[in-house]
Amino acid sequence: MHPFPLISQSPSSFVVKKKMVGLFRLVSGCPGPSGFGSASTAQEVTEGIDGTNLTALVTGGASGIGLETSRVLALRGVHVIIGARNMKAANEAKNKIVRENPRARIDVLELDLCSTNSIRSFADNFIALHLPLNILINNAGIMFCPFQLSQDGLEVQFATNHIGHFLLTNLLLDTMKNTVKATGIQGRVVNLSSIAHNYCYKKGIRFHKINDKQGYSEKRAYGQSKLANILHANELSRRLQVKLEKELLKFFSFFLWKNVPQGAATTCYVALHPRLNGVTGKYFADCNEMRPSSYARNESLARELWEFSNKLISSVSVP
């Protein structure tokens, strides 16, 4: 986990001080204001939390950070739905969790975030189950891919990491709102981002060259998609508050340079911890609130991305 707060237009000495504190916390595992730090694990940050009345959807929940997130949520009593492209791996993940925890409630559904048709089918199948949805964890992602286009003709990292989750969230938002109304429990949407959101293209998002091979950088394209994850959640938070629908909450986390139990800690913390009731539109690292890049805090860029994403989806698929 990269711990450095990202501070713009600040005195350099202040930035250096913050970076030194962040480096110390990373190396030592020293906890931050939340009481947790880089060495905390997902089990530790959710200790004592009862999630038996909650249902969560975890994209990419069959491996890595997503699998650990699914396992720990199930350990806390949450009914977990794993959305995964590889159904064999998803069922193996389910069986592994249930062997460890026979009381775990785990279901799996096929989901390919690189395909808008698959995303729509997944949403239809989930809604048909008539399940509540308290927590949506947009976890799945790909990284540093050579240039290629998705089935819908979109640059594959942007398609999978941002557009897929943007569409999925929009399709399931009414289900989350209905769950809030029926249960009185606030919903949470967790978008996983990365410190790599700082390393993006000039001006943040290549709106007019999103699918162009010329000038493509696999690392900047990844950073662009991770910036989009934060901007998406910021704009969704703003829109819900404008509509006085504050029951849906947004949180942001990133993970780098950690083992799997530590990597899933921030995700599980923001998904379950009661301390964050009422918190929205924030960016978390090591289970503590951090300040993202200036691009990530740009409201105009967030609004432009929202409209661009809607138009892009409309151009590649028919509802």
Instruction: Show the beta-strand stretches assigned E in the chain.
Output: 55-59, 79-84, 105-110, 135-138, 187-193, 248-254, 282-285, 288-290
Find out whether 319 and 310 touch, Cβ atoms under 8 Å: no
Cα atoms found within 13 Å of the Cα of residue 165, Cβ hemisphere only: 30
Residues 6+ apart with CB under 8 A from 271: 56, 69, 73, 135, 137, 188, 190, 251
Q: Mapping DSSP to helix (H, G, I), strand (E, B) and coil, where does residue 105 land?
A: strand
d(CA 170, CA 80): 20
Q: Residue 220: how many CB atoms within 10 A of its CB?
A: 17
Find out whether 209 and 247 touch, Cβ atoms under 8 Å: no
Catalytic positions:
216
